[in-house]
Amino acid sequence: MAAGDPMKLVEYTTSSEMMPQVAKALATELEQALKVREKICFAVPGGSTPGPVFDTLSTAEIDWARVNIILTDERWVPESDAQSNAALIRKRLLVNNAAAASFAPFFIEDTEIATAAALRSAQLSQLLPVDVLLLGMGADMHTASLFPGAQGLDAALATDAPMLLAVSVEGQQIRRLTLTAPVLRNAGSTHVLITGAEKRAAVARAATLPEAQAPIRTVLDTATLHWSAQ
Ligand SMILES: O=C1O[C@H](COP(=O)(O)O)[C@@H](O)[C@H](O)[C@H]1O
């Protein structure tokens, strides 16, 4: 974000007010993208926040058969693990009308994470660019799995980064695969979904910090941020 640029922030009082409105905005943008490309790419986060958006969005009457859904990032666990982002997507988004969408998960059983990154990158090259991007953010200002201080962060923020990279975060046993900064920056439209005072303060702080300390900064100039107080 250039100094002085206003952040595109939409504020809601409650998450129950915010979630359906974000779902509606995403459905509208997916429909618009479907008018331009035969097959479109929709990238979605995991984590604890977006479930209610997925619940509403899954019932949207759009041509889901022409939508490729990918993850913004994945924890390196099988889908049987409660921490799997893919498992969340299958349970909350790939249901109802959205069951007709295609889904390209990142995790590959019995495969070294770096090997999987290369294999999945080759698949992604057929699906990108991302037409519509939904991101979450942690109070530590990470987005996707671009965590401040992560091993692999510099490579993932580089302008010539590959599409997908493995990162590891100090204190976390589980490694991660993440879309990299060039992929996030190149999305047709970007929305960030956050709740609570701590994340609102983190966004304000991120605007004053370099990307390496506040990776959400990568999309702050292009994204619409949706924030609810509760
Ligand atoms: O670890 C992750 O965290 C972010 C934020 O998650 P939340 O639980 O604070 O909503 C999420 O966007 C990302 O996909 C996930 O892997």
Domains of the chain with bracketed CATH = 8-228 (3.40.50.1360)
Split at pLDDT 50, 70, 90, the class of 7 is: confident
Q: Could you read off the pLDDT of 146-193 as tens digits, one per residue?
A: 999 999 999 999 999 999 999 999 999 999 999 999 999 999 999 999
Q: Could you read off the pLDDT of 30-89 as tens digits, one per residue?
A: 999 999 999 999 999 999 999 999 999 999 999 999 999 999 999 999 999 999 999 999
**Nearest CA owner, ligand 1 atom 3:** 47
Residue 35 alpha carbon to ligand 1 centre in Å: 30
Residue 3 alpha carbon to ligand 1 centre in Å: 27
In total, the chain counts a number of residues equal to: 230
The pLDDT of 97-110, averaged and rounded, is 98
* pLDDT of the residue at 1: 53
Residue 193 alpha carbon to ligand 1 centre in Å: 10
| Ligand 1 atom nearest to 74, measured from its CA | 16
**Nearest CA owner, ligand 1 atom 9:** 138
**Nearest CA owner, ligand 1 atom 1:** 47
Residue 45 alpha carbon to ligand 1 centre in Å: 7
pTM of the complete model beyond 0.90:
yes
pLDDT at position 6 over 80: no
Please list every protein residue whose CB sits less than 6 Å from any atom of ligand 1.
45-49, 72-73, 85, 136-138, 145
* pLDDT of the residue at 5: 60
Dist CA 50 CA 125 (whole Å): 26
| Ligand 1 atom nearest to 194, measured from its CA | 10
Residue 54 alpha carbon to ligand 1 centre in Å: 14
pLDDT at position 4 over 60: no
ipTM above 0.90?
yes
